[in-house]
Structure 1
Amino acid sequence: MSSSVKLRYAYFPGCVAQGACRELYQSTQVLTETLGIELVELKKASCCGSGTFKEDSQLLEDTVNARNLALAEELNLPLLTHCSTCQGVIGRVDERLKDYQNSDPAYLEKVNQLLQKESCTPYKGATEVKHLLWALVADYGLAEIERRVTRKLSGLKCAAFYGCYLLRAQHQLIYDDPHQPESMENVFRALGATPVYYRGRTQCCGWPISSYATNESFQMAGNHIEEAIAAGADCMVTPCPLCHLNLDSRQPEISKFLGRSFNLPVLHLPQIIAIALGISPQALGLDNHIVSTTPVLEKIMNN
């Protein structure tokens, strides 16, 4: 990033980060302010539906998220999210509607008529959807992040958990390989940490089936946690609050169900970066996690 360029985004925080994972909202704000990235929050935005709207109606999912995209278009800014699920849902809607501009303009007109009926700005296909991870890697730059590091995470072994929506919900993923991603591992390296590779890092966390197949969801999440621990991870890092809910908030239940004690700390992506920038754990909400992050902090502080 050129020092003369000010990065600005239309910020879509999503509902989970403003509720169950408030520490993600908190740490994203602190990190972006520290890096000089301006977030213009879309306070009128609505929940993306997390993939459930289309089970009832594809038109519903498209219209709700066309409105979210139009809010960013009004600002002439890219829409930034810090949730893998939001990225996958809104990014896929944007991708689909842009295709429909040529292949099915009548459908797009139907979407815009519904928006107009509610006095909403029509969707034009004039923005892009970008996860915080992509914004940091592609726009801000890993070299600049590394330059800003004041507390190297030497000796800390981090296991990325990408979440399936971030990697494979869209047909085109221009920032990484959807099957063999390296973006998060490259972030860890820039912070001085050691990436840990394990089979489940690109798989589903199990959250989408947790409401009706709880045991299977616990088994999926438990497998990932167990594999990360076996690979030597000190912590797991995820760019998705829904993955965080299943891997951190439900980890005690998962441990009980599987009859094994895990206690693997799970951090949000902006938290691990902000720690390396010298920001205090309290400012990042690291004391709000279900699985204590103390072992991670002790390892960092003792380096």
Structure 2
Amino acid sequence: MSRSAWAKRGRSTTSSRSRGATARSGSSRASTRWAASSSPRRRARERTLPRSSPASSRRRQRGSDVALRRVAYYKGCLASLSAKELDSSTQALAPQVGLELVELQAVTCCGAGDIHEAEPDYYLHLNARILAYAEAAGCDTLLTICNVCTLNLRQANWQLKNDDALRQRVSDNLEHVGVPPYSGNVEVRHLLWEIAEGEGYELLKAAAHKGLKGLKVAPFYGCQILRPSKLLGFEDPDRPWSLERIIEACGGEAIDYPAKIKCCGFPIIAAREETALGELIQPIEQAKEAGADALVTPCPLCHLSLDAWQSKLKAATGKDFQMPILHLSQLVGVAAGLEESELKFKRHVVPVTPVLEKLEV
């Protein structure tokens, strides 16, 4: 189905990617001043230079005529730890969809929702630091692969861009510990948005040469990639279209069901497990009843809930769903013919074997 067809179900308001030459030169001058004023000891302690991903390098060595666009890559906590398969599949997929990942080496957690609520000013500094390193790397886009990271970084970025005095205060504070100043010239974008339209979408279609062979895939957006729409603004939060468009571009069948835009229950699982499981069962049960072979999600926290906690659902309800849950980069990656060493399906709790058998992988 074309984007226009999906768009009838919800109007998309896409963020602009480009920045003016004046803004970029201002950012460059600010970074130069920081480099000149910071002591070598401070820089050595605080900053590690970003590096391009190995996958991007391999793509260039193959002599591809695809022009790669440099983006700062922020993988967040889960993709660095319990969801390493998300990082490896993203890095392998990126050059095939026109992205050269400049991995940020000296960044921390975005703070999720916990620090934002408890220490809002500390949260703002955490995220400003990430944005500053992305800008210092010479990138105008910060690529994310987590819904929560996307929301936190976009929210902080909105505050910093719209309040010059606040941005100056935060930059001054961070400069004392060796962080480059932030001029507000970075746009935060999720991988989902990069490949759902424009050049990324066209490259995605070309890359997905293996195809999904009609695999029935239920999209699960979760909540923090859609809401609040004022901050995220890519698509209608009640009628999103991006995952469906990607599934169909890869040769799969997108399965529609009501709970695809609901919360996965992750934020309250420790405090209110029964309520969280009540949220979690809805997308899995509805997708199963609709005939889905697998679910796909753009968020590692949603993936953790949907994949690892199916055992909790079984214990609580007696229902053994055995529903495979794929990361977005894995779904596209398997359609593009990535290797198991890059996809790392064996790291999943619920086996992905039924999906791979249907795809004859």
Give the TM-score, by structure 1 length: 0.93
Other-structure match for 1:63: 125
Q: Deviations over 1:220-273 (max 9, x none)?
A: 111221111111111000111000110001111122112211100000000010
Q: Which moved more, 1:115-124 or 1:266-275?
A: 115-124
Give the TM-score, by structure 2 length: 0.78
Other-structure match for 2:330: 271
1:157-236 aligned within 5 A: 157-169=216-228, 171-236=230-295
Query: Any conservation in 1 of the 2:148–2:224 contact (CA below 8 Å)?
Result: yes
- 3-state secondary structure, aligned to 1:11: strand
Residue 31 of structure 1 pairs with residue 93 of structure 2: yes
Other-structure match for 1:255: 314
Query: Any conservation in 1 of the 2:127–2:156 contact (CA below 8 Å)?
Result: yes
For residue 34 of structure 1, report the CA deviation from its aligned partner: 4.0
Other-structure match for 1:90: 153
Q: C-alpha separation between the residues in 2 aligned to 1:52 and 1:170?
A: 21
Residue 79 of structure 1 pairs with residue 138 of structure 2: no
Q: Deviations over 1:150-198 (max 9, x none)?
A: 2121221111111211111451444322221100100001001000111
Q: Which amino acid counterpart does residue 247 of structure 2 have in structure 1?
A: F
- 3-state secondary structure, aligned to 1:123: coil
- 3-state secondary structure, aligned to 1:168: coil
Query: Any conservation in 2 of the 1:163–1:201 contact (CA below 8 Å)?
Result: yes
Q: Could you list the runs of 5+ residues in structure 1 that have no partner in the other structure?
A: none
Other-structure match for 2:103: 41
Q: C-alpha separation between the residues in 2 aligned to 1:208 and 1:152?
A: 34
- 3-state secondary structure, aligned to 2:102: strand
Residue 51 of structure 1 pairs with residue 118 of structure 2: no
Q: C-alpha separation between the residues in 1 aligned to 2:107 and 2:261?
A: 28
Residue 142 of structure 1 pairs with residue 183 of structure 2: no
Which structure is larger by alpha-carbon Rg, 1 or 2? 2
For residue 124 of structure 1, report the CA deviation from its aligned partner: 1.3
1:120-159 aligned within 5 A: 120-138=179-197, 140-159=199-218
For residue 54 of structure 1, report the CA deviation from its aligned partner: 1.5
Q: Could you list the runs of 5+ residues in structure 2 that have no partner in the other structure?
A: 1-64
Q: Which amino acid counterpart does residue 46 of structure 1 have in structure 2?
A: T
Aligned residues: 297
For residue 275 of structure 1, report the CA deviation from its aligned partner: 0.6
Q: C-alpha separation between the residues in 2 aligned to 1:37 and 1:109?
A: 31
Query: Any conservation in 2 of the 1:73–1:126 contact (CA below 8 Å)?
Result: yes
Q: C-alpha separation between the residues in 2 aligned to 1:117 and 1:265?
A: 47
- 3-state secondary structure, aligned to 2:110: coil
Query: Any conservation in 1 of the 2:96–2:207 contact (CA below 8 Å)?
Result: no
Q: Which amino acid counterpart does residue 22 of structure 1 have in structure 2?
A: K
- CA change 1:111–1:286 in 2 (3 A) is same
Q: Which amino acid counterpart does residue 81 of structure 2 have in structure 1?
A: G
Q: CA RMSD in A?
A: 1.8
Q: C-alpha separation between the residues in 2 aligned to 1:192 and 1:45?
A: 37
Identity of aligned residues (%): 38
For residue 139 of structure 1, report the CA deviation from its aligned partner: 5.0
Q: Which moved more, 1:248-257 or 1:161-170?
A: 161-170
